[in-house]
Amino acid sequence: MEGLESPNLLEGLWSFFVPKFPVPAVLLTAWFIMGFLIVVALLVARRVALEPGRLQNALETALEYVTSLSRQIAGPEGPRFVPLFATLFLFILCSNLIGLIPGFVSPTTNVNINAAMALVVAGAAEITNVRVRGLAGYCKHFCGPPYYLAPIFIIIRGLEVFTRPLSLTMRLFGNMLAKEIMLGVLVYLLTLFFFSHGIVIKLLAIVPFLLRPGIMLLGVLVGFVQALVFTALAMTYIGSAFEKH
């Protein structure tokens, strides 16, 4: 699906300058987004003003929104993890939206990229659990209460630990890949109809051409929602460490 709509720009540049060290297009795009976010953050940090410009205002709005959401979902301790939550939200949002630009591919359509982020979230949640409860308390919470059902609870909570990153990975992967497939199918139908021999069939090319803007707008909405859902679930998992049973 990566090269169906158009050749990947970053992959072409990398192959030209570093032909002996191939790197997947999704990884190149992920590096590009990381670098872009780092540069933007440094520019804003160097030019912080009481009367913020558009860029500073946009980042402050996003940060305030994530902070407020973390307090609602993860509780009073949520704002402590805002650097992680904000990074996840901005990276996933940019990764989702960049695939709508011809010549780029969404890193979130690759299961490995999503799994890496999911493992970071799952690891942070379990480390926070150990720090809050202590090692003995962490092991104890796998057994109950009620503790006479410890064998069942160990299985259930053990499965929960392993299914959290799997759920995060596949939810984001499935939704973003569906958008890529829909756009790819429209490109295929447009090409198929346009280069056919019949006049009537050629006229059918207008259908995928008109549907494409709607799918792209839907892709923007889905991209924002999936970034928000992934971040909100990360807040839920980490915030659960502070819950009192």
pLDDT in tens, 92-135: 999 999 988 878 889 999 999 999 999 999 999 999 988 988 88
* Rounded-to-integer distance, Cα 98 and Cα 166, Å: 24
Q: Is 183 exposed, middle or buried (0-12, 13-18, 19+ CB in 10 A)?
A: buried
pTM of the model: 0.87
* In the chain, where the domains are located: 9-242
Q: Cis omega before residue 146 (within 30°)?
A: yes
Residue 47: which residues within 8 A CB-CB, separation 6 or more? Answer: 53, 56
pLDDT digits (tens, 9 = 90+) for 23-79: 888 899 999 999 999 999 888 888 777 777 788 888 888 899 999 999 999 988 899
